[in-house]
Structure 1
């Protein structure tokens, strides 16, 4: 269910993608460092299915679950669930939701908030990025406001279909319109880094290696 760009992006890493985008003069593409992965050994990559949410402490419990399950049904295969819940109280991902999304072919979850059922998420191998964990759920408290809309996490605006890449170092948003150019440049940079690495291992002075290859 992954597209070709996702497969190529999975072979990259955030450090090289960051450097490529910085060199292009792009700004505000690195998500807050406090958002961390439950499986840091894995790379998460793919286009974003975006969610915007709101808090309503007076919400009817049935309505919150009705709207949450309706949102799950709209998630897109081959995409990453990227949520701005506008809340730091309840969990915006859990076991049954993750099971549903994984079965639909969703690649993983990024939530600018909390999640729960962390042991189940690990057992499912459902890549989940969050600011932390809480057992408290959305019932009677939180509602989705919109999906497939622009959202903002930290100083990063994420549009539907923008590509995400995350690894142990953090998360980056890649504009959909420039993803081919950026990934191709990252692939080339990785190839050059391999030459620098080979030179260093052969005993070449690091400054000489930098001047020879233009990268370090």
Structure 2
């Protein structure tokens, strides 16, 4: 059986947004400044949240021990979403991305920075971030909470919520609504395929809208 995460992976953020709006749900979209390292990157699945903070007193050893512990805790089949409360450091790098990929983690989204981007792009691991910098977390940052609600922009993200990140943006689906939203999005995408073909065949756009109820 195809998992809900795999089904969501086949969707796109615009369609999910439309469905949530049409179902009367408040669409939860992360700030548009959080982007994939490449346009083709895409990540979808249930969320594993991380929150951390800068710590000027932490030693290099303590910070790396805490960081590798974070990587160990990230569960397979999930997307890690990190609120670092930091605007200085990279919260993802080459070895960390390789580790998450090999552990079966579906992607990484951070309200902060990333480095080693060329290596990560070559590995094909989906990472979404706000900026790049060579500065890392060593002797400067520690995680403080896992699998607890976090806030990015004006969006509260809870453990187990579903997330879809693609070239257009990042949308968060409440866990209790995920099955309904994905199923409805699949229906919408089938309708859009028929509508797209009608337009290509020369149908008037207004007539097509009235026939299919979408545009």
TM-score by length of 2: 0.96
Aligned partner of 2:103 in structure 1 is 104
SS in 1 for 2:91: coil
1:3, 1:213 → 2: CA distance?
28
How much has 1:28 moved relative to structure 2? 4.9
1:172, 1:188 → 2: CA distance?
18
Q: What's the CA shift string for 1:49-89, capped at 9, x where partnerless?
A: 11000111122221111111111111100111110001110
Q: What's the CA shift string for 1:144-185, capped at 9, x where partnerless?
A: 011111111111111111111111101111111111100011
Q: Is the 8 A contact 1:38 1:128 kept in 2?
A: yes
RMSD of aligned residue pairs (Cα, Å): 1.3
Aligned partner of 2:16 in structure 1 is 17
Pair 1:126-2:108 in alignment: no
Go from structure 1 to structure 2 and tell me whether the alpha carbon gap of 1:47 and 1:3 turns closer, same or farther (over 3 Å shift): farther
In the alignment, structure 2 segments of 5+ residues that lack a partner are none
Q: Is the 8 A contact 1:28 1:155 kept in 2?
A: no
Aligned partner of 1:209 in structure 2 is 208
How much has 1:43 moved relative to structure 2? 2.4
Aligned partner of 1:167 in structure 2 is 166
Pair 1:5-2:4 in alignment: yes
The number of residues matched between the two structures is: 215
2:41, 2:67 → 1: CA distance?
27
Q: Is the 8 A contact 1:13 1:167 kept in 2?
A: yes
1:153, 1:26 → 2: CA distance?
19
Go from structure 1 to structure 2 and tell me whether the alpha carbon gap of 1:67 and 1:42 turns closer, same or farther (over 3 Å shift): closer
How much has 1:91 moved relative to structure 2? 0.5
In the alignment, structure 1 segments of 5+ residues that lack a partner are none
Aligned partner of 2:88 in structure 1 is 89
1:42, 1:137 → 2: CA distance?
23
Aligned partner of 1:197 in structure 2 is 196
Q: Is the 8 A contact 2:21 2:27 kept in 1?
A: no
How much has 1:42 moved relative to structure 2? 3.4
How much has 1:3 moved relative to structure 2? 6.3
Q: Is the 8 A contact 1:28 1:156 kept in 2?
A: no
TM-score by length of 1: 0.96
Aligned partner of 1:176 in structure 2 is 175
1:3, 1:138 → 2: CA distance?
37
Go from structure 1 to structure 2 and tell me whether the alpha carbon gap of 1:50 and 1:63 turns closer, same or farther (over 3 Å shift): same
Pair 1:76-2:75 in alignment: yes
SS in 2 for 1:203: coil
SS in 1 for 2:24: coil
